[in-house]
């Protein structure tokens, strides 16, 4: 009996260590990328906002958090990690970045626009990489170095009192958003599971309805983002958005082997806060969300 207790105690002391070893050591990612991210469940997400760019649509300057946020989401284990994400690039940066990522074995899963008539023109490169967590994070850093993406450790965000438009939109949409950097963001998860490479993806990996707002003059907001849709949801959402004068700016894929097949619809509008929020709410009612 005493021997069994000793063995059991030994196993219990080992298992927690094994559990830690089987996850991601996020400090390795931080060291490679030169900045830290945020943990969401088993996913570690790191952002690279294009604070160096001054992009405008119809004269309205876009805040980085509205549509200029490159990101990387890591999951898995130290020895068998996956990273996927989206990079915001100028036209001349696209192919040097792709070449660097491909040389490291990364898959490029999409290259496209999210906006229309923006100045300067920006493109979005979606990617996926597998391997040792230190190696793939270093490869991602090398890819980012082929662009002018700011890679220094960002200054800590200063907390700010949310302006009045935040509560107005939250009340209409019926959800709590995140306000930072002058942008109100929503990530509304889909009801059904999305898988890729036999792994269930989470909202932090880019499969939630991503809706962003920023103030654009007295009583007005700009909105953009992407609806994550199955085939049968695409045209009902288009109709709901257009009925509220919200433009469709792109419809395409972001991944290659996801199940079920998904379509990502990007949109843009500037208008009265309540009207714009009502349009987003109407479109969300056409989507199977939680």
pLDDT at 8: 42
Task: List the one residue out of 71, 104, 112 whose CA is nearest residue 253.
Answer: 112
- Alpha-carbon distance 120 to 273, whole Å? 26
Q: Residue 75: phi, psi to the nearest 5?
A: -150, 175
Residue carrying the six token digits 């490869």: 139
pLDDT at 157: 75
pLDDT at 62: 96
DSSP H helices in the chain: 2-22, 26-33, 64-67, 91-103, 133-144, 164-173, 231-242, 273-284
The packing angle between helices 273-284 and 164-173, to 10°, is 30
The tokens for 282 are: 């109407």
- Alpha-carbon distance 221 to 246, whole Å? 12
Architecture of the CATH domain 157-290: 2-Layer Sandwich (3.30)
Contact 35, 46 (CB under 8 A): yes
Sign of the alpha-carbon torsion through 192, 249, 113, 54:
negative
pLDDT at 160: 81
Q: Tell me which residues of the chain have a pLDDT lower than 70.
A: 1-22
pLDDT at 22: 56
Q: What share of the chain is helix, strand, coil (3-state, %, to 5)?
A: 35, 35, 30
pLDDT at 254: 97
- Terminus-to-terminus CA distance in the chain, angstroms? 50
pLDDT at 11: 44
**Could you count the other beta carbons within 10 Å of the beta carbon of residue 13?**
9
Residue 255 in 3-state DSSP?
coil
- Alpha-carbon distance 256 to 108, whole Å? 9
The DSSP code for 259 is B
The tokens for 277 are: 């929020």
Residue carrying the six token digits 């009612």: 285
CATH class of segment(s) 23-156: alpha beta
pLDDT at 23: 84
* Domain ranges (residues) in the chain: 23-156, 157-290
């Amino acid at each position: 009996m005493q021997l069994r207790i000793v063995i059991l105690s030994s196993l219990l002391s080992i298992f927690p260590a094994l559990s830690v070893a089987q996850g991601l050591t996020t400090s390795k990612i931080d060291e490679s990328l030169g900045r830290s991210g945020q943990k969401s469940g088993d996913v570690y997400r790191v952002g690279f906002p294009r604070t160096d760019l001054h992009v405008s649509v119809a004269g309205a300057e876009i805040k980085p958090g509205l549509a200029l946020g490159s990101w990387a989401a890591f999951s898995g284990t130290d020895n068998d990690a996956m990273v996927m994400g989206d990079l915001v690039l100028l036209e001349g940066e696209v192919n040097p970045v792709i070449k660097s990522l491909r040389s490291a074995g990364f898959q490029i899963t999409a290259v496209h626009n999210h906006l229309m008539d923006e100045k300067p023109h920006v493109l979005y490169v979606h990617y996926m990489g597998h391997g040792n967590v230190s190696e793939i994070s270093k490869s991602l850093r090398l890819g980012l170095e082929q662009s002018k993406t700011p890679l220094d450790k960002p200054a800590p965000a200063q907390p700010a009192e949310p302006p009045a438009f935040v509560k107005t939109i939250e009340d209409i949409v019926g959800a709590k958003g995140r306000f930072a950097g002058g942008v109100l963001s929503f990530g509304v998860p889909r009801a059904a599971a999305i898988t890729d490479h036999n792994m269930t993806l989470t909202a932090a990996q880019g499969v939630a309805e991503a809706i962003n707002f920023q103030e654009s003059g007295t009583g007005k907001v700009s909105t953009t983002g992407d609806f994550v849709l199955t085939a049968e949801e695409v045209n009902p959402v288009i109709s709901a958005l257009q009925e509220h004068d919200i433009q469709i700016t792109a419809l395409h894929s972001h991944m290659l082997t996801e199940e079920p097949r998904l379509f990502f619809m990007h949109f843009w509008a500037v208008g009265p806060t309540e009207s714009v929020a009502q349009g987003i709410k109407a479109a969300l009612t056409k989507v199977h969300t939680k």
